[in-house]
Amino acid sequence: MVALEAARAPAGSSPPGRSRGMTLRGRRTRVAYAFLIVPILFYLAIRVYPTLQAFWLSFTVEGSPGLTLANYSRMLQDPIFWQSVYNTFLYTIITVPIEMALGLLLALGIDRMGRFRGFYRIIFFLPYMTSIVAVSWVWRLIYARDTGLLNEILVGLGLPAQGWLNDPDQALLSVAIVMIWQTMGFSMLIFSAGLNAIPKEFYEAARIDGAGGWKMFSRITLPLLNPTIVFLAIIGVIQTLQTFTQIANLTGGDAMGGPLHSTASIVVYMYQQGFESYDMNFASASTVFLFVLILIVTLIQFRVLNRGYKL
Amino acid sequence: MGRRRTALIATLAAIVPLVLGACGSSGSGSGESGSSGDGDQQVTISYWQYTYATKVTEIKKLIKEFEAKNPNIKVQAEDYPHDQFQNKVFAAQKAGTGPDIVNIYNGWVAQFVKQKAIQPIPSDFMSTKDIKDYYVSTVQPQSGDGKFYSLPIAVRSLALFYNKDLFKAAGLDPNKPPQTWDELVADAKKMTVMTDDGRYKQEGFGWNVSGQGYHTFEEVLLRQYGVTPFSDDGRTVQWDSKPGGFDAYQFWMNMTMKDKIGTPDFNTDYSTAFLAGKAGMIIDGSFRLGDMKDAKFDWGVTELPVREAGGMKSNYASYWTNAIATGVSGAKLKAAEKFLKFLISEDVQKDWLKNIGEIPAGKSLSNDKDILDNAQYAPFAKALSYAHTTFFVNEDASRNAFIDATNESLLNNVPLADSWKKLVASQQKVRDDFFGK
């Protein structure tokens, strides 16, 4: 993209249509294609082809010829699969709204600050820039039942120590908290940009008309942030539907997605089938399921969330 | 404009061949090594193992030695991280760039055979009888079809590591580690320190499932309670064939549930807790000896406990073993055989013990005085005569099923009798899945 822009700028300043009977537009397109051909080939080879291959694999069984639905019927009968699907939905429902709400709150707060604005932005954005693996392991130590910081604090305050990642009832929430903590900085940054794009005149006009703070927020800020909200919701949902790294590092080592599959997501399930049991055909079936799921959810989101975006 | 476009084309001209070249070179590389076998005297074979610093260094040294003796054979050593190793091998084989000799865990052999990734040891090189005669009894085919697919250099067994400083602090004799399981529980209780609300500050015994814990249960406790864990063909789980099975399970689970001498997640895991001086005892393999060099406390290592004094001893053995990949034939196969023969020689076994800390797998060295006189090696070496190697069909799945079943009781308060039933059934299912029942 950047290269394309660079090539375009000087082209406009030279007399058009002189070289070898090509139009300016034609030449620009050709330059664009020349640059794009490598990434496109690369993309086709390492993204599109394996994806199609996975579709194919999911309808076959190792060692027997012909297409079959055996992988899918086995998957749909596996209670652990359904638990993973349920968990994945929980992750999405818990983390996406909360991290967006917190991100907006932070963005609004920081927006009002005069000095140190950049400093606070960096502080809240830092978790997002940090490696998920490192963050997960630090949180794992914080959550540790016997020696963890969190329980030490709770006990210090006279509250009972909790099981956190050890407790099947709390483990998913514990993982979700890490995910929220890490992504809310990203939401904040995008919201900040969205807020900056809203013309200040709107607020001035509203204030003259006697609008209060809440009214300005609900009638000006929120509607004008709609594109940002749509973007964050879609990105957030896709990310959480694909959650793997946090779970693998917070609960891995023993049984990933544990205890008792209470934190397993669809991707964790797929990983275990593919890379612990080496049943690629079966694992492909869960990948296809996830693909279709993300496709449907994203299409619905586009429909629902874009509806309000008209001024 | 003209200059800019020239620059652009020049850049493209530079990049495209680079990218294409990168794609092409991997393909041509494999072709080269594939064709080197025929006619030409010079043969190149590849050896893959997982990344374990001391082993990687050791193999490189051994290869130099081997190449000096066999100038017409070149061995290329490659290593990949443990958790990606199997994927890497299977993927590379599908792409035709896999290894000629691959070093795998004994628990993976059945899975590799099923994936048709490795071939049986050629009988004109070493017959099944030759192999059985050559090795201690813990070296078993592990393949499900009775054939040997691999040859190890060394074998590992388990022993009880104990922290002498913590023994002293608890008023125990640091030179009298427990001999029986009951003594172990009693000693561990004295070393366990807990907060008022039941959180561990120090554990007496590094009780765990996912580490060596479930191996200890399967091959040591079950056998000492009179149960042979699996049928000879490896298809049937026999844990509940006798009442002793459940007794063993109850005893083992009560170590953490009732006796409260340790818990799986304390201080990350049992070995980290022990190395940090926060666990009185752990059961672990000889490979842990290397880490113990850095221990900041006085420690000892001894044979695993028995049920009562003079009772039956048992132990769990495992090993990393060298297999020839499927499709290796002709001059390459002969070269691979030569390299294997070198790797399993007595000299290499001794060298391996010195540098890696794993006990020689050859029968000829099982009574070696140097080993039995060494206080650190002796408990492991002695154990080899009564150790058992589990025949795994899918080690990850077995372990996960084990963790899940025990967690039912540990976390969800399910009665032991119920989680026991679930445990046995889930272990059977892993085997049924593998054998396609």
> Who among B19, B265, B394 is closest to A145 (CB)?
B265
Range of the domain at B130: 5-156+318-388
Instruction: Say if residues A28 and A7 touch (Cβ distance below 8 Å).
Output: yes
Judged against a pLDDT cut of 70, whether residue B322 lies above it is answered with: yes
Q: What pLDDT shows up at residue B180?
A: 97
Judged against a pLDDT cut of 70, whether residue B34 lies above it is answered with: no
The percent helix, strand, coil of chain A (3-state, each to 5) is 75, 0, 25
User: Of residues A19 and B212, which shows the higher confidence score?
Assistant: B212
CA angle in degrees (0–180, nearest 5) for A163-A165-A170? 70
Instruction: Say if residues B270 and B279 touch (Cβ distance below 8 Å).
Output: yes
Cα atoms in the Cβ-side hemisphere of radius 13 Å centred on B350: 10
Contact A146 B115 (CB under 8 A): no
Tokens of A95: 């983390």
Contacting B residues, span 248-267, partner chain A, CB-CB under 8 Å: 263-267
Judged on CB neighbours under 10 Å (0-12, 13-18, 19+), A11 is middle
User: Of residues B401 and B19, which shows the higher confidence score?
Assistant: B401
Same domain, B300 and B172: yes
State how far residue A74 is from chain B, nearest Cα, in angstroms.
Answer: 12
Please state the rounded mean pLDDT for residues A7-30. 62
Judged against a pLDDT cut of 50, whether residue B287 lies above it is answered with: yes
Please state the rounded mean pLDDT for residues A98-108. 95
The domain locations on chain A are 14-71, 79-305
Q: What pLDDT shows up at residue A287?
A: 94
CATH number for B409: 3.40.190.10
Which residue does chain B place closest to A276, by CA atoms? B396
- In this complex, is the C-beta atom of B279 within 8 Å of any C-beta atom belonging to chain A? no
- Per cent of chain B over pLDDT 70 is 91
User: Of residues B7 and B163, which shows the higher confidence score?
Assistant: B163
User: Worst-scoring range by mean pLDDT, A105-114, B33-42, B303-312, B334-343?
Assistant: B33-42
Helices B243-257 and B181-191: crossing angle in degrees, nearest 10, is 10
Same domain, B328 and B427: no
Q: What pLDDT shows up at residue B6?
A: 54
The band of A14, judged by pLDDT with boundaries at 50, 70 and 90, is very low
Instruction: Say if residues A234 and A240 touch (Cβ distance below 8 Å).
Output: no
Q: What pLDDT shows up at residue B30?
A: 38
- Per cent of chain B over pLDDT 90 is 67
Convert the pLDDT of each residue in A46-61 to its tens digit.
999 999 999 999 999 8
Same domain, B301 and B163: yes
Rg (CA), chain A: 25
Q: What pLDDT shows up at residue A2?
A: 41
DSSP string, A74-96: HHHT-HHHHHHHHHHHHHHHHHH
Residue of B309, B303, B280, B250 whose CA lies nearest to B168: B280
Judged against a pLDDT cut of 90, whether residue B15 lies above it is answered with: no
Tokens of A54: 């996975």
Residue where a domain terminates, one of B372, B388, B404:
B388
Task: For residue A25, give the DSSP letter.
Answer: H
Convert the pLDDT of each residue in B97-124 to its tens digit.
999 999 999 989 998 998 889 999 999 9
Same domain, B308 and B322: no
Which residue does chain B place closest to A159, by CA atoms? B197
Same domain, B188 and B217: yes
Question: Mean pLDDT of all residues in chain B?
Answer: 88
| Partners of residue B394 in chain A, C-beta under 8 Å | 276-277
Judged against a pLDDT cut of 50, whether residue B32 lies above it is answered with: no
Convert the pLDDT of each residue in B149-202 to its tens digit.
999 999 999 999 999 999 999 999 999 999 999 999 999 999 999 988 888 999
User: Worst-scoring range by mean pLDDT, A133-137, A209-213, B318-322?
Assistant: A209-213
Please state the rounded mean pLDDT for residues A138-167. 91
Contact A253 B210 (CB under 8 A): yes
Question: Bridge partners of B46?
Answer: B76
Q: What pLDDT shows up at residue B28?
A: 36
Q: What pLDDT shows up at residue A164?
A: 92
Q: What pLDDT shows up at residue B317?
A: 93
How many other C-beta atoms can be found within 10 angstroms of the C-beta atom of residue A10? Answer: 12
Q: What pLDDT shows up at residue A254?
A: 67
Q: What pTM, to 2 d.p., does this model score?
A: 0.79
Instruction: Say if residues A61 and A68 touch (Cβ distance below 8 Å).
Output: yes
Judged against a pLDDT cut of 50, whether residue B29 lies above it is answered with: no
How many other C-beta atoms can be found within 10 angstroms of the C-beta atom of residue B205? Answer: 28
Contact B404 A161 (CB under 8 A): no
How many angstroms separate the CA atoms of B328 and B37, rounded? 10
Judged against a pLDDT cut of 60, whether residue B259 lies above it is answered with: yes
Please state the rounded mean pLDDT for residues B61-83. 93
User: How many distinct structural domains can be found in chain B?
Assistant: 2
Convert the pLDDT of each residue in B233-254 to its tens digit.
889 999 999 999 999 999 999 9
Q: What pLDDT shows up at residue B7?
A: 54
Same domain, B69 and B97: yes
The band of A8, judged by pLDDT with boundaries at 50, 70 and 90, is very low
Q: What pLDDT shows up at residue B61?
A: 95
Same domain, B293 and B346: no
Same domain, B176 and B261: yes
Please name the residue that has the structure tokens 């509806």. Answer: A307
Judged against a pLDDT cut of 70, whether residue A177 lies above it is answered with: yes
Long-range CB pairs of B174-180 (<8 Å, 24+ gap) are B174/B298, B174/B300, B175/B300, B177/B281, B177/B300, B177/B302, B178/B281, B178/B305, B179/B305, B179/B306, B179/B309, B180/B305, B180/B306, B180/B307, B180/B308, B180/B309, B180/B311
CATH 1.10.3720.10 fits A79-305, yes or no: yes
Instruction: Say if residues B394 and B430 touch (Cβ distance below 8 Å).
Output: yes
How many angstroms separate the CA atoms of B315 and B30, rounded? 43
Contact A254 B264 (CB under 8 A): yes
Same domain, B165 and B123: no
Same domain, B105 and B222: no
Judged against a pLDDT cut of 60, whether residue B327 lies above it is answered with: yes
Q: What pLDDT shows up at residue A20?
A: 59
Q: Which residue in B112, B265, B423 has the most chain A C-beta atoms within 10 A of its own C-beta, making it the best mutation to test that interface?
A: B265
Same domain, B123 and B20: yes
| Partners of residue A31 in chain B, C-beta under 8 Å | 8
Q: What pLDDT shows up at residue B437?
A: 65
